[in-house]
Amino acid sequence: MILDTTSVDRDVTLSTDVCVVGSGAGGAVAAKELAGAGRSVVVVEAGGYHTSRDFTQREEQMYPRLYGDAGVQATTESTAWIAQGRALGGSTVTSLCVCARPPRAVLEHWRDGLAIPGVGPDDMVRYYRQVEDALQVSQLSPEQVNKNNQLLQAGAERLGYHSVRIAHNRVDCLGCGYCALGCAYDRKTDALTTHLRLASQQGAIIVPDCRVEAITTAHGRVSGVSATFGRTARVPAVLTVQAKVVVLAAGAIGSPHLWLRSGLPNTQRQVGRALHLHPQVVMAGVFAEEVAAWRGIPQSIVIDEFFQQNGAAGGGFLITPLAVHPLALATLLPGFGAAHRQLLELYPRLGLAAVMLHDRSSGNVELDNSGGATVNYQLSDEDRAALAEGMRRLADVYCAAGAERVILPFTELVEITRRGDYRPIDDHPVRANDPLLLSFHPQGSLRMGTEPRRSVVNQLGEAHEIRGLFVADASVFPTAIGVPPQLTVAAFACRTAQHIANHWPTVSKS
C-alpha cells in the first residue's frame, strides 16, 4: 500500500518489523525481499510519489520534482555538482538505465585485500543474477545505438580504442531520449515499477513525501524512526515508526547525514568519511551534420580502453556519450554572452560525451551549523592528471570521428581544432569549478568492513555500534567501483535483506 499523504490530517504512529529509509535501488530491493519473506515493512521516502502520468518531459518542471535540490547540490567551494533522485524509486526513476557489474578486481580486493568475507565475485554472482532478472537487464541491440553514440564508437574504432555496447534495464524502449526526466511511457524497469510494486503487493506500507528526521534507539539498538510529512499533508504532522530493524538506504550523502543528525554512535569518526563521487566532465564535438544527441537512448556505448581495473587503487576513466536537453545544456556549455548563445545554437550538431573518473580522491559528509549536509571533496593530483588525460583522449576520439572542433569543459570557451593539439588543456590547470565536475554516483561514506576502526558497518551491512541498524545503499562500498552503481547497490541490498530475513526470525519480538 502506498499511503495517500494528502489524507494525513494528524500525527501517525506505525509499528512494524522493519523500517526502510529510502526507496531507491537499495531500499526498494530490501523492502521487496523482506516483505516477500513475511516481515512487516514500512518504507519512508522523502520524495513524492510520481508516475508516468506526471512525467511531462519539461526540464523546468521535472528537475525540482524528481531531484534533490533540483539536481544541483554543490560541494563546498563548488568543486562538484551532485545530482540525485528524490522521489519514490529514488535515482532509478531518473537514471539512464545503465547496468554494469563492477570489475572482478574490485570485489576481489574487497574480499582479499580488505579481508571482507563473502563479497568476492563468486559470492555475489547469485545476487547480481537475482536483481538482473527482476530488472529484466539485457544488452542493447545495434539498432538501439543512436547517432551520438555511433560517432563516439566510430572515433574509438579508428584509433583502436576498445569500446563495448552496454546492458540496460528497459523493455521495448521507444527511444524518446527523456530518460533523465522520468519515463513517460513506463519502459524503464526501475525500482518504482519493479521492487516497490512487488513490496506493496506483499503488504509493505510505503510512505512518500515524508522526511526522516532521526533514527531512534534504546539500550544500544534501534527502536524506529521519527519523520515529518511534507507539503502534501493537510496539516503539519509527524510520523513515528516503531521498528525492531531499520534499513538505512538514503544514499551516500543522505545516509551519513541522517546518522550524524540522529546523534548515533560514531566512536571511530568513520561516519561520512571516504566519500567518492565518481566525478565526470562533459565535452562537446561540433559536427558538420546533424547529430540530434537528444534522440534515442542516451548511453549505449562506453569506451573502456583507459579504465584501470585495479581493485586496490582504482584510477583511469571511462568515456561515455551523454545527452541533455536545452536547460541542462545551457548550464554545461562554457563561455558567456554572445559566445555562449552561439554554442547553444549549435545544439543539433553537437555530439556530447563525458569523461568519468574512477576516482581515488575522497571527501566527507558533515553537518553544517543548521544541521544540513555539507559535502567536502577535492580531486587529488592523481585524479587531476587522469582527468586531463581523459580530456585529451576524448578530444582525439571526436577528431577521429570527424568533429570540426571540440569544446572543452572549462568556464571560458576553450576549443581544440585539430587532433594532438593539447595546449588548450595543458594551459588550463584543473581548479575548483573549472572544469565543472558532475556527480551522479556518490558512494562509500559508511564503509563496510570487519574492523570498526576503519569501517561503519560489517560485511552484511549491520552497524558495528548499533544492533538492528543496517545500511543498504552505495555508502557501504569500501572503495569506488568506477562504474554506475545501480546493480551493485541492488545486489548488496538483496544480500543484506536476505540475511535479515534468515537470521532474524523473531525480529518482531523483544
pLDDT tens digit sequence for 260-292: 999 999 999 999 999 999 999 999 999 999 999
Query: What is the rounded distance in angstroms from the CA atom of residue 213 to the CA atom of residue 234?
Result: 19
Name the least confident of 28-37, 178-187, 296-305, 427-436.
Answer: 427-436
3-state secondary structure 153-222: HHHHHHHCCCEEECEECECCCCCCCCHHHCCCCCCECCCCCCHHHHHHHCCCEEECCEEEEEEEEECCEE
Look at residue 121 and tell me whether its pLDDT is greater than 60.
Answer: yes
CB contact set of 122 (below 8 Å; sequence gap of 6+): none
Phi first, then psi: what are they for 498, rounded to 5°? -65, -35
Helix and strand numbers (H, E) in the chain are 12, 22
Cα-only R_g, the chain: 22
First and final CA of the chain: distance in angstroms? 26
The pLDDT assigned to 309 comes to 66
Look at residue 311 and tell me whether its pLDDT is greater than 80.
Answer: no
Q: Output the nine-digit C-alpha cell for 285.
A: 564535438
The pLDDT assigned to 462 comes to 97
Q: Tell me which H or E stretch contains 135.
A: helix 121-135
Query: What is the rounded distance in angstroms from the CA atom of residue 360 to the CA atom of residue 363?
Result: 10
DSSP letter at 350 equals E
Write down the residue that cell numbers 569506488 correspond to: 480
The pLDDT assigned to 310 comes to 64
Q: Where are the beta strands (DSSP E) in 238-279?
A: 238-248
Work out the mean pLDDT of the chain and round it to a whole number. 95
- Closest CA relative to residue 177, chosen from 321, 72, 278, 283: 321
pLDDT tens digit sequence for 434-455: 998 999 999 999 999 999 999 9
pLDDT tens digit sequence for 90-112: 999 999 999 999 999 999 999 99
Query: What is the rounded distance in angstroms from the CA atom of residue 144 to the CA atom of residue 142?
Result: 5
Give residue 401's identity as a one-letter amino acid code.
A
Look at residue 186 and tell me whether its pLDDT is greater than 50.
Answer: yes
pLDDT tens digit sequence for 129-176: 999 999 999 999 999 999 999 999 999 999 999 999 999 999 999 999
pLDDT tens digit sequence for 57-94: 999 999 999 999 988 899 998 889 999 999 999 999 99
